[in-house]
Each structure stands twice: as C-alpha cells, then as structure tokens.
C-alpha cells in the first residue's frame, strides 16, 4: 500500500502526530504536501534516480518531503540535524545531492552551509531563509496538490553513523517494480512478525534521520497506521506519550530503556502501559539485566533484531525465546550466519569470531570500493564488523565491534561486557569503556562514567565502582582508570561515539 491510497480511503485519519506539541497531519494533508514537494523537485530539474538531502529536525514536514521524494523516484539522504556545516557539506557532496533542505533549528549555521555549498547545490530552508536559500514554504505553496505525471518509487539512502570514521553512504539498488504502491520486506515483517497493521499507533522516540526510526515509520504509513513522533526523546515524556496516545507499538534503543528504568518508581507508576502490544529494540547491544527488567515491567511483548543499513541480513528474537537464551539477538531470518576467523574462514560452532551474513542481498558503500570489498570475505559473505558466536540452536550472541576491542598485554578485552555491567549500578546513568595507551601493556582499560548524581563524581565513588566490578570481572578486565563525565557523546539511537573518546585519550597521551 501507499499513503496516497489511505488518503483516498481514510483522508481524515492522522498519519502523523507530534507527541509533545500535538501537531497533526492527516493522510489527506500528507498526500497533498508530498505531491507539492514532488512538483517542486521536478521544477528544479531533479529527475528520476537523482539525489536530494534533508537536514531538519523531527516535524510533520519530514514525511511530506520524504514521501514527495519517494514518489518522484529519488534517492533521499537523511542528514543528522546535529552535524556541523563541514560534516553536512561532506555528505551532500559525497552523495551527489542536487538539493539540500534544512531548517533554521539545526546545529550547523545555515550561512556556513550556504558559503560551502552555494552555487553547487540548490538550497531550500524552513523558517526565514538566509541568503543563498530559497524558502521551502514559499517554494511549494503554489505547486499542484495532484501527483506528478511520472511517479515512480525512490529510496532512502542512509549514511553510516561515523562512529569509527567518515560516514559512508549505502545506496541500495532500486527494485525492478518502480510502482509507488509496491510493498517491501519490512512492511511484511511489520505486519506478519510484529503484528503492526492499519490500526497501529506507532511511537517513534528517535530522530527520523536514522535508519530504523525512518524505515519503520514509513512502513507504518504504508500500512495505514498512525505515527506518533517525539520531537526529542525524554524518558517520562515517552511514558506520557504511550499513555496519552494509547500507543500499540514502538521502537526503542537500549539507552531509552535504561533512562526509563532509572526513573523513580512513583513516576513510572503514573502511566498506563497496557495499550502496548509490541516494543521493538535494536541499534546497540542491550545488557541482559536491562532487558530482563523491561520484560518484567512491560511483559513479554519485547522483540529485538540485529541488522544494518546495508541490508546484509537480519536476526530476530521475541521475549519468550530471549528468556530461554538471555543475551541472544536471535536467529537469522532470510539469510544464514557464519562465524569466521581473521582470514574469513568459518570457525566451529560456539567459537567467537567475526559475524558474516550469507544472503542474496547486495550492497556497496557509495564512492568507497575499498570499504565495500573489506566488508566481504572470499566466499562473498558480508559483515557489519561485529564479533559474536552461535550456540547449538543457531542463536547469535554479539560480543562487541571489532574496532572497539582492547588488546592489553596480548589479551583481547571486549568493552561491551564491562559497559553492560557498569550500567546496572544504581548510581550510574551511562558508561563507556575504551583502550587508552599504556607503556607496559600496550593498552589499558579506561571506564568513563556518567553518574546519576554529579556529586558522586569523585575518587571515593571510583573506588566503590572498582570494588563492585571486582566481584563480577576477572582482574584483566578491570578498568585501570575511572573518569567521570556529565554526559557521554551518544547518538539518539543509542550508539556511542566511542572513536571521539578514544581519540581524545590517545591524543592526550601523545601530547608533549
């Protein structure tokens, strides 16, 4: 299905509701706005298979632009509204976008963007436009509300988060069926696995420029449900939105779970969660105690999947199977999984190594043939760079990302295990573990902790944490240094910019 179909059958139904403001866009309004956007793209000479970029905050217009581009046959690059002008410039140029749409409320200064891109790329802007930008509202105001003559299906083009280097675009091939009403596999997963249908009220608590929030929201629109979008994640605000809007489905990341679980019990008890039928999570490893606590709270409605923007493969696990295999991210769906050594050769069952997907899907990193080649072994299997193992029943357990592994005294140490432990301490809000230079061991384990109460950021609490961790970890894994931060550099998807922390510590060690 397609939102344009629902605009005919249920024009007044809310397609989008903003959780905090209550602003609503119906299916009829979404259809008209997306048609106007498609006409605007064509008026700029942007044709089938061309690329545009979108850098705005969560708002109903996000979907109007996205659906307009997708019915004009375009590749659409969602760009984080938190990036600098230099980072935006890189993605826009690397993707080959012919148009960039921004708002006045992004982190980068639009004037800086205009100075970098003006003349090379068409620029449009929400709010009062600065020199170099056209006004988006004025540009689309007089455009027709009817479809363009040459409608055909486009696709989002996602860029990696850049947590380990420059972000790279994943440009998946367009399907042979370019009809805009054609479905896709994710729509079928939503309907047949998660039970999301036209009656769903789906909560999106994360930025729409990320893969999962965007793709699942678009799938709900294809199914005819309502997407409730949070302007910005807030732990109690999430509970309030579930209660107020009678949310039936939502997608979260472990950081969201942790923040909600850290709320006082009396706050959590204020809100009714019984409307929820399915809660999906992914994007980052979830500590076993955190997930167990969420199942205890919300019931056996929690599903987890492991996948990537590359579309190389997927695993899925429900609550019942997870309770029988705690810590697993599930079994493969529509693909096979192989655990391989450094040479790309398959390891015996139960051993830990690089996780590879074997599937019919193909992907490439845009403008990066070397990275594309590095993501596959000689057998053609693809990896996302994660380390894990398979049990005797074929359930996958992730250990960490290869790039985060610490080698101390010749021993491989996986930070995720230490982070998963730290986050369960009742005085810890967040934690990151990295390897920092050590003249004797090569690398030493360093924990960077965000305490719930900043008054705990002291040597006494560091000693308390060390003593507590010693009860659960072998001595080689114990952090040799514990530092405190008021906030860690996390994306809204829960992914940690660990590269930034690691670079900071290595640069400090190398400084004279």
Task: Return d(Cα 276, Cα 474) in angstroms, integer.
Answer: 40
Fold of 183-302: Rossmann fold (3.40.50)
Question: Exposed, middle or buried: residue 412 (CB in 10 Å: 0-12, 13-18, 19+)?
Answer: middle
Reported as a single tens digit per residue, the pLDDT across 6-62 is 999 999 999 999 999 999 999 999 999 999 999 999 999 999 999 999 999 999 999
CB 379 within 8 A of CB 373: no
Reported as a single tens digit per residue, the pLDDT across 381-420 is 999 889 999 999 999 999 888 778 898 887 888 898 999 9
Q: What is the mean pLDDT of residues 472-492?
A: 91
Reported as a single tens digit per residue, the pLDDT across 202-215 is 999 999 999 999 99
Out of 79-93, 295-309, 366-380, 471-485, pick the least confident. Answer: 366-380
433, two tokens: 């573990």
183, two tokens: 């479905």
Task: Return d(Cα 382, Cα 294) in angstroms, integer.
Answer: 32
What's the number of CA atoms in the CB half-sphere (13 Å) around residue 46? Answer: 31
pLDDT for 441: 83
pLDDT class of 330 with cuts at 50, 70, 90: very high
User: CATH for 310-403?
Assistant: 2.30.38.10
Backbone angles phi, psi at 441, to 5 degrees: -95, -5
Task: Return d(Cα 100, Cα 179) in angstroms, integer.
Answer: 25
Strand partners, 156: 76
pLDDT class of 161 with cuts at 50, 70, 90: low
Mean pLDDT taken over the chain: 93
Nearest-Å Rg of the Cα atoms of the chain is 23
Other C-beta atoms closer than 10 Å to the C-beta of 16 total: 26
Fold of 405-510: GMP Synthetase; Chain A, domain 3 (3.30.300)
What are the sequence ranges of the domains in the chain? 26-182, 183-302, 310-403, 405-510
CB 258 within 8 A of CB 286: no
256, two tokens: 């969201």
| pTM for the model | 0.87
* Candidates 3.40.50.980, 3.90.180.10, 3.40.50.300, 3.30.565.10; CATH matching 26-182: 3.40.50.980
pLDDT class of 162 with cuts at 50, 70, 90: low
Task: Return d(Cα 499, Cα 301) in angstroms, integer.
Answer: 34
What SS3 state is found at 333?
Answer: coil
51, two tokens: 């690329």
CB 90 within 8 A of CB 120: no
Question: DSSP class of residue 10?
Answer: S
Does the pLDDT of residue 506 top 80, yes or no? yes
What's the number of CA atoms in the CB half-sphere (13 Å) around residue 477? Answer: 18
Tell me, yes or no, if the two domains 26-182 and 183-302 fold the same way. Answer: yes
Question: Exposed, middle or buried: residue 482 (CB in 10 Å: 0-12, 13-18, 19+)?
Answer: buried
181, two tokens: 């009403």
The pairing of beta strand 302-306 with beta strand 315-317: antiparallel
């Amino acid at each position: 299905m397609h939102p344009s179909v629902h605009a005919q059958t249920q024009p007044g139904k809310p397609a989008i509701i903003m959780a905090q403001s209550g602003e609503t866009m119906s299916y009829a309004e979404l259809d008209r706005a997306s048609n106007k956007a498609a006409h605007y793209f064509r008026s700029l000479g942007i044709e089938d298979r061309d690329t545009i970029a979108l850098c705005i905050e969560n708002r109903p217009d996000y979907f109007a632009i996205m659906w307009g581009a997708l019915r004009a046959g375009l590749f659409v690059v969602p760009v984080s509204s938190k990036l600098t002008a230099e980072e935006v410039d890189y993605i826009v140029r690397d993707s080959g976008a012919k148009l960039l749409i921004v708002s006045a409320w992004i982190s980068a200064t639009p004037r800086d963007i205009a100075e970098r891109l003006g003349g090379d790329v068409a620029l449009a802007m929400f709010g009062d436009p600065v020199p170099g930008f056209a006004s988006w509202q004025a540009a689309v105001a007089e455009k027709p509300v009817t479809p363009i003559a040459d409608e055909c299906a486009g696709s989002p083009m996602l860029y990696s988060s850049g947590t380990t280097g420059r972000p790279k675009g994943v440009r998946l091939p367009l399907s042979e069926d370019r009809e805009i009403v054609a479905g896709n596999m994710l729509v079928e997963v939503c309907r047949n696995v998660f039970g999301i249908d036209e009656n769903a009220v789906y909560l999106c608590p994360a930025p729409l420029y990320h893969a999962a929030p965007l793709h699942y929201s678009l799938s709900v629109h294809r199914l005819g449900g309502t997407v409730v979008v949070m302007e910005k994640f807030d732990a109690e605000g999430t509970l309030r939105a579930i209660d107020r809007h009678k949310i039936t489905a939502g997608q979260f990341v472990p950081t969201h779970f942790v923040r909600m679980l850290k709320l006082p019990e009396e706050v959590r008890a204020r809100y009714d969660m019984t409307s929820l039928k399915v809660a999906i999570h992914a994007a980052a490893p979830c500590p076993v105690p955190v997930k167990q606590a969420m199942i205890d709270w919300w019931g056996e409605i929690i599903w987890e999947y492991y996948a990537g923007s590359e579309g190389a493969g997927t695993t899925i696990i429900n609550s019942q199977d997870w309770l029988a295999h705690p810590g697993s991210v599930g079994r493969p769906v529509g693909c096979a999984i192989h655990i391989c050594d450094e040479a790309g050769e398959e390891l015996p069952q139960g051993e830990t190594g690089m996780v590879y997907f074997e599937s019919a899907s193909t992907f490439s990193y845009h403008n990066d043939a070397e990275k594309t080649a590095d993501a596959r072994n000689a057998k053609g299997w693809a990896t996302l760079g994660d380390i894990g193992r398979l049990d005797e029943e074929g359930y996958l357990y992730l250990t960490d990302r290869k790039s985060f592994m610490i080698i101390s005294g010749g021993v491989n140490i996986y930070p995720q295990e230490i982070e998963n432990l730290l986050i369960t301490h009742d005085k810890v809000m967040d934690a990151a573990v990295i390897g920092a230079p050590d003249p004797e061991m090569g690398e030493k384990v360093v924990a960077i902790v965000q305490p719930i109460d900043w008054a705990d950021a002291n040597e006494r609490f560091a000693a308390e944490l060390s003593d507590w961790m010693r009860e659960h970890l072998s001595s080689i894994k114990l952090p040799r240094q514990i530092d405190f931060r008021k906030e860690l550099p996390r994306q809204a998807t829960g992914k940690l910019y660990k590269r930034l922390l690691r670079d900071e510590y290595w640069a400090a060690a190398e400084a004279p």
